[in-house]
């Protein structure tokens, strides 16, 4: 059982909904001036959920890695593909991605040009043309130049991951699990401070998608489920899956609660420090 195109679209739909929540409720200033009813949650809980939903980017990256390997496997099941073929496929993906983005970019520029935002972002200096070209090709985040829309940072990530895909394929074919674990653990061992928009933060999701596609993980799981779990009564199996889901939810909620308490304690210590420095 592989992820079909409809499965991928469903995952993208879930990720898009998560992205909406993330952007709408990431901080109180985003709903300032509007009457928002958070019941049964609180505003603080909603903010932490919105922060957690940043994982929508990981879903997009996972689907990218999974889909690219699936495409290669159609003609090269063992990924024994020549560098020329890999580069050709990568070039095709890059052109497809950029052609769609450039169309959207130009449309946004044309529609919003009367507002004056174009010159507000890019300025009127000699480097303005360079800023426009860099942003139009989705590389503003990578080169740290002005960008017309802040959320377009993802384009830099997508482009870099696609460009690095031939290298990822080569390393995966040679080292398999060693490469997967290295990508997962190396940033932690080096104690790298990885920001949410940093490439290293999402490389593992890309490689994990590649691994799941190449190893037929979902097919193997389905086969194991059909042979081993088929003997278990359905009510027991349902309770088993329910317990796993509950454990995952509890883990996430505990993580959110810990972060919430950390921020609250930090806030209270900050207030106490102010009171000590400014006695009445």
* Per-domain boundaries in the chain: 5-217, 232-280
Question: Per residue in 86-110, pLDDT tens?
Answer: 888 899 999 999 999 999 999 999 9
Question: Per residue in 137-161, pLDDT tens?
Answer: 999 988 899 999 988 999 999 999 9
If you average pLDDT over residues 203-208, what whole number do you get? 88
Judge contact between 200 and 188, C-beta under 8 A: no
Instruction: Give the per-residue pLDDT at 63.
Output: 92
What is the CA 169 to chain-centroid distance, rounded? 20
CA distances from 138 to 1, 169, 179, 264 (A): 35, 24, 28, 38
- Record the pTM: 0.76
Instruction: Give the per-residue pLDDT at 194.
Output: 46
In three-state form (DSSP H/G/I as H, E/B as E, the rest C), the secondary structure along the chain is CCCCHHHHHHHHHHHHHHHHHHHHCCCHHHCCCCCCCCCCCCHHHHHHHHHHHHHHHHHHHHHHHHHHHHHHHCCCCCCCCCHHHHHHHHHHHHHHHHHHHHHHHHHHHHHHHHHCHHHHHHCCCCCHHHHHHHHHCCCHHHHCCCCCCHHHHHHHHHHHHHHHHHHHHHHHHHHCHHHHHHHHHHHHHCCCCCCCCCCHHHHHHHHHHHHHHHCCHHHHHHHHHHHHHHHCCHHHHHHHHHHHHHHHHHHHHHHHHHHHHHHHHHHHHHHHHHHHHCCC
Q: Which of 120-134, 139-153, 239-253 has the lowest mean pLDDT?
A: 239-253
Q: Which of 82-86, 117-121, 219-223 has the lowest mean pLDDT?
A: 219-223
Confidence of residue 79 (pLDDT cuts 50, 70, 90): confident
Instruction: Give the per-residue pLDDT at 263.
Output: 64
Q: How far apart are CA 183 and CA 11, in angstroms?
A: 23
Instruction: Give the per-residue pLDDT at 46.
Output: 84
Q: How far apart are CA 156 and CA 231, in angstroms?
A: 49
Position of tokens 């949650």?
41
Instruction: Give the per-residue pLDDT at 278.
Output: 58
Structure-block tokens of residue 169 = 């394929």
Position of tokens 């190449």?
214
Does 259 score more than 80 pLDDT? no
Structure-block tokens of residue 278 = 């400014």
Instruction: Give the per-residue pLDDT at 197.
Output: 59
Q: Considering only CA atoms, which of 8, 6, 60, 39 is closest in space to residue 205?
A: 60
Mean pLDDT score of the chain: 82
Q: Which of 18-27, 30-39, 93-102 has the lowest mean pLDDT?
A: 30-39
Q: How far apart are CA 93 and CA 77, in angstroms?
A: 19
């Amino acid at each position: 059982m592989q992820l079909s195109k409809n499965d991928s679209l469903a995952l993208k739909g879930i990720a898009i909904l998560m992205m909406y929540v993330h952007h709408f409720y990431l901080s109180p200033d985003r709903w300032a001036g509007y009457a928002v009813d958070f019941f049964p949650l609180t505003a603080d809980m909603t903010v932490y959920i919105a922060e957690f939903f940043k994982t929508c980017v990981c879903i997009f990256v996972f689907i990218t890695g999974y889909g690219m390997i699936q495409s290669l496997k159609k003609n090269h099941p063992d990924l024994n593909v020549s560098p020329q073929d890999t580069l050709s496929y990568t070039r095709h993906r890059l052109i497809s991605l950029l052609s769609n983005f450039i169309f959207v970019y130009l449309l946004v520029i044309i529609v919003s040009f009367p507002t004056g935002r174009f010159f507000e972002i890019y300025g009127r200096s000699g480097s303005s043309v360079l800023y426009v070209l860099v942003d139009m090709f989705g590389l503003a985040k990578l080169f740290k130049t002005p960008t017309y829309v802040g959320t377009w940072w993802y384009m830099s990530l997508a482009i870099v991951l696609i460009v690095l895909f031939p290298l990822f394929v080569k390393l995966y074919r040679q080292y398999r699990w060693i490469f997967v674990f290295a990508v997962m653990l190396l940033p932690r061992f080096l104690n790298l401070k990885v920001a949410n928009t940093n490439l290293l933060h999402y490389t593992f999701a890309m490689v994990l998608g590649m691994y799941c596609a190449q190893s037929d993980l979902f097919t193997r799981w389905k086969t194991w489920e059909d042979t081993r779990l088929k003997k278990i009564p359905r009510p027991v199996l349902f309770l088993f899956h329910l317990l796993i889901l509950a454990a995952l939810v509890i883990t996430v909620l505990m993580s959110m609660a810990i972060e919430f308490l950390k921020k609250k304690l930090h806030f209270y210590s900050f207030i106490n420090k102010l009171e000590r420095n400014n006695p009445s």
